[in-house]
Structure 1
Amino acid sequence: MSHVQTIAVAQISPKLGDVAANLTVHHRYIERAKEQGAQVVVFPELGLTGYLLQDLTLEVARRLDDPDIASIVEASSDIDIVFSFVEESSEHFFTSRVCTRHRVKWFTYTERLICQRTGCSTKGDMSLKAAEWNRSPRASRQRA
């Protein structure tokens, strides 16, 4: 027996550096996907921040426990959500994806080291970074 899911792909054009506007768009598309019966909605890479950030990286970066991130996690009570943003740790900035379901961060995937906080060139190193997975259904691991 197969299990079929409806997946909504949110083809959005994020406003570069405008997290508040992009967050509003994310919430609108999440509601639209729910209304259309989707079980999963997927947003593009860096959908919350825009892509070619350069000098805006420090301004738009968010920690996993940021209220903006938490608002998307809260919206996942009855739909799985995959979204991406610039994640800030104490020393680095990363391109991260989060999959959230039932109001918890199901896993995070960190792909690229954008820059380091010390001596940060925000045009930075976009080389592929080893993936970090957190498969815990309860919480996401925070970087020190």
Structure 2
Amino acid sequence: METNEGLEAKTLFAHFQRIYPGSFEDGQLRTFQCRVKTWRGTEGPGREVYFPQVHVPGRLSQSDFTDMSKLQISIGGQSFDHLIYHFVLTYSNWETGTVCFSESFESLSAGLQKSLWKLGGVPEQHQTDRLSAAVNKPGCPVKFV
């Protein structure tokens, strides 16, 4: 069952009836099926979880920063370490990017503004990650009052 996830309990039960004649009666099939189902749910291989998403035109855009330093880009022999602010419309996958040098509120604001000007409109909603660097100054802990 670990190597063949598609194997049905009924097939296994028939196999055991052939190998061990007289040990398993037809009336035990339902109990065996329940135990196989329980084993698959608790001990069996993990299953991929998929949440279908429905995207509507003009409703949602998303953005994030991507660190480009692993590409080892150089200009004039000097390392060009930078980030890309990436903006995408979730329905059409229309996208654009802006070079920036920090994951800050200023970079987010500039990247979003350039993206919206290039798009020529504004979607109903925009999502981005928490961007802790954009709301917390380094060395300044968050205080809740």
Common fold by TM > 0.5: no
Larger Rg: 1 or 2? 2
Q: Which has the higher helix share?
A: 2
Q: Which has the higher strand share?
A: 1
TM-score by length of 1: 0.27
